[in-house]
Amino acid sequence: MKERYYYSIGSGSSGNCGLYVCGDTAVLIDLGVSVRRVTAALRRRGLEFADLAGILITHEHNDHIKGLATYVKKHHVPLYASRGAAEMIARREPGALPLLRPFWGGESFSVGGLQVESFLTPHDSPESVGYVFRSGEDSFGYATDLGFVPSPVRQKLLGCSAVVLESNHDLTMLETGPYPYILKQRVAGPRGHLSNVDCAACAVELVKNGTKTLILAHLSEENNRPALAKRETEEAVAGVGSCRVFVAPKNEMDGPVWLSEEGQCSLFA
C-alpha cells in the first residue's frame, strides 16, 4: 500500500499551509507561514523543499502566501496558482514570476504523479480556487475560504475519500464577538468564510457519497472553538456513514492523518 497522508502545518487566519503526500508525490497547499517553519515541518516528515513536486496556492491573501517573499529567494519548486491569483502574486513578489505556473480556475493539470482538478470558490479574492487531487482510485479534496458551498464545488468534492473543509466560525460567536459590524458581514457573507453549520451540512452530503475522512480547517480563533466545530460536524454525520473527523489546529499537527486505500484514517505522532 502506497504512503498517503495529509499533514497540516498551519491553519486559520494567522497562516495556512498543508502537506499532501501520495506515493512518490508530495505537494504543499498554500504557503501562509514562514519558510523556516515549513522547513522544520518537512524535515520532521523526512522531506526538504526540493522533494516537493509543487506548491499549489488557493488565493493571494496574506494568510495563504505570507512565506513567498523568503521562499523565492531560496527555493525553486514551481508555484501553481490561478491566473487571477498569479497576477496579484507577481505584483507583490516579482521574484515569484519565474516560478509561477498559472492556470484558469476550473482547469485540470498534472503535478508529479497527481492529477489536479481546480475549481473556483466564492471568496473575496480574484479567482480563488480549491483542489481535488487524484491518483488511481485515491481522491483528496481541499476547499477552504468559502462564503458558501455552491453546487459546482459540491460536485467536485463528492466522491473524494478524504476532504479538507473549512469550518471557520460559529454563527453565535461571530454575532456576539468583538469583530466590527462590517467585518462580521464580510465573514458571514457569500464571499467570506464557511460557518460550522454550513460545513456540517456539506459534510453530510460528502459522507453519503463516500467520504471517510474529514479534516476541518481555517477555524477562527475569535469566533470558533475546535471542540465546537468538531462536535457539530460529528453530530451531523452520525448515522450517515462511517467517517472520522479531525480538526487542523492553528499550528502544526501532532502527526499526519494517514489515509489508507479505503480512505480510513488514523493519527500518529
Mean pLDDT of 19-47: 97
pLDDT of 260 reads 62
pLDDT confidence tier of residue 265, bands split at 50, 70 and 90: very low
104 CB neighbour count, 10 Å cutoff: 13
Contacts of 78 (CB under 8 A, 6+ apart): 54, 55, 99, 100, 101
pLDDT of 239 reads 87
Q: Given a cut of 70, is residue 60 above it in pLDDT?
A: yes
Superfamily of domain 4-257: Ribonuclease Z/Hydroxyacylglutathione hydrolase-like (3.60.15.10)
Total residue count of the chain as it appears in this document: 269
CA 26 to chain centroid: 15
pLDDT of 2 reads 81
State the Cα–Cα distance between residues 269 and 208, nearest whole angstrom: 30
pLDDT of 261 reads 52
Give DSSP secondary structure letters for 24-73. TEEEEE---S-HHHHHHHHHHTT--GGG-SEEE-S--SHHHHTTHHHHHH
Q: Specify the pTM.
A: 0.95
pLDDT confidence tier of residue 201, bands split at 50, 70 and 90: very high
pLDDT of 268 reads 41
State the Cα–Cα distance between residues 231 and 119, nearest whole angstrom: 28
Write out pLDDT tens, residues 234-251: 999 998 999 999 999 999
pLDDT of 155 reads 97
Helix (H) or strand (E) holding 201: helix 196-208
Write out pLDDT tens, residues 83-119: 999 999 999 999 999 999 999 999 999 999 999 999 9
Q: Are strands 17-22 and 25-29 parallel, antiparallel or unpaired?
A: antiparallel
Name the one residue in this structure whose C-alpha cell is 516537493: 52
Mean pLDDT of 189-195: 97
Closest among 145, 119, 163 to 16, alpha carbons compared: 145
